[in-house]
Amino acid sequence: MITPKLFPLLQCPTCRSRQLAVEADAISCAACSTRYPFRTGYIDLMPRGATYDYVSKYVTDEAELAEELDYQELAPPLLAAGVRDRTLRRLLRFEASDRVLDNGCGTAKHAVWNAGQVGLMVGSDPATLFADQALEQVALTQADSRSLPFADGSFDKLFAIDILEHFPIEVIDAYLAESARILRPGGRMLAFSNTREMSPIQPLINLSRRLGRLFVRAGIYDFSREARRKSDHLKALATWEDVEAAFERAGLRPVKVIFWNSLFTTFVEHVLMKLGEAILGRAKGSTKRSQGGTPPPSHPDGVAREIRARRRMRSRLRPGSPTYLALMAVTLLMELDLWLFGWMRCGSYFILVEKRSA
């Protein structure tokens, strides 16, 4: 959505001036004369005239990914996304007065799920694959994280879920520096990402992966969609020391860390859910179409099947329904990994950091 609450926080992403005028269908900068047009549900606040070496694949392949990611309709926060969201809330402790930025929001699902708890929820992403609910409930900006369209100290909290692993190191530094700039002193940021480090219990975790691969060989499930999703992971922060050093460079002090050794999680994802998807996703001849419309015909079988399963699933996911409660139980089982093994250093991590007070 486009809300006047956002306007006082804005600065020109091109020249960094704060002399902005709100027009009927755009924000315009008095200093450099750039106009930032209102689109449907968001404002185009991309810096003009900037050239960057690195461009996210979500920007370059937006059209292609739009179809594949099946992003318009959000499911409730369950499974791995549910664990991320519950941990996000637990660590950031949203308050009704908070101004919060989902920095690199993607569909803006975490912003949607938490918008009701805070004063102003803003989502920012260079790609505009925003979910329908986000277009209605979250103040959305199309923006580049290296030159954010927000004034210094604008936000109390911000979060970066599944972001840092995509960037080369100079982009990580620019991203964290900009994040620190727009946080108020004492403001907090939560990041979820992963390094290249292995879990000490990796051999145990791999048992589930091996089981999962048996299904692939048997043709039950296709991992290609998942592989595509992770295809641009660089993991430039390769070790935990790299992570700490990067936040340190940006003036962000670690407050709490939780590692995600995915013992239960991998079992759920690679065995339990894949079986469920295989069963739910089987095409049912011509009798019924799911509510989400026709599945894209151009995809390989496994992808179409997975999307079909997800759509069928979503229609059963009203909070309180049996399917919802069952998946919530599975979500809590996955979260058990954090409670039991959160102290054990491994690749996946949640880190809560605080901006130093002047």
Q: Are 257 and 351 in contact (CB under 8 A)?
A: yes
**Closest CB to Zn ion among 14 and 124?**
14
Binding Zn ion (rule: CB under 5 A), the pick from 17, 60, 291, 321 is 17
Q: Which sign, positive or negative, has the C-alpha torsion 123, 226, 307, 328?
A: negative
Segment near Zn ion (CB under 5 A); pick from 25-33, 42-50, 187-195, 286-294: 25-33
Token couple for 320? 């309180």
Using an 8 Å Cβ cutoff, are 118 and 95 in contact? yes
3 or 17: whose CB is closer to Zn ion?
17
Q: Is 321 in the site for Zn ion (CB under 5 A)?
A: no
Q: Pick the piece of the chain touching Zn ion (CB under 5 A) from 6-14, 178-186, 256-264, 298-306.
A: 6-14
Task: Name residue, tokens 């005239």.
Answer: 49
Q: Which of 2, 6, 27, 29 binds Zn ion (CB under 5 A)?
A: 29
Helical ranges in the chain per DSSP H: 57-60, 62-69, 79-92, 109-114, 132-137, 169-182, 202-217, 224-229, 240-249, 263-267, 273-281, 301-315, 322-341
Which one of the spans 14-22, 36-44, 119-127, 225-233 is the region binding Zn ion (CB under 5 A)? 14-22
Q: Tell me if 32 contacts Zn ion by CB under 5 A.
A: yes
Minimum Å distance from CB 45 to Zn ion? Answer: 11
| Contact flag: residue 31 with Zn ion (CB under 5 A) | yes
Minimum distance, C-beta of residue 16 to Zn ion, in the bound complex (Å): 7
Name the residue nearer to Zn ion (CB basis): 29 or 327. Answer: 29
Stretch that binds Zn ion, among 30-38, 193-201, 250-258, 261-269 (CB under 5 A): 30-38
Judged by CB under 5 A, how many residues of this single chain contact Zn ion? 7
Shortest distance, CB of residue 31 to Zn ion, whole angstroms? 5
Q: How far is the CB of 149 from Zn ion (least distance, A)?
A: 10
Cα dihedral 251, 257, 263, 266 sign: negative
Distances, alpha carbon 285 to alpha carbons 123, 194, 282, 289, 314, in Å: 40, 41, 9, 9, 20
Smallest Cα–Cα separation from 212: which of 201, 200, 222, 198? 222
Q: Decide if residue 19 touches Zn ion (CB under 5 A).
A: no
Compute CA distances 123 → 64, 98, 146, 242, whole Å: 22, 14, 15, 27
Q: Which residues bind Zn ion (CB under 5 A)?
A: 12, 14-15, 17, 29, 31-32
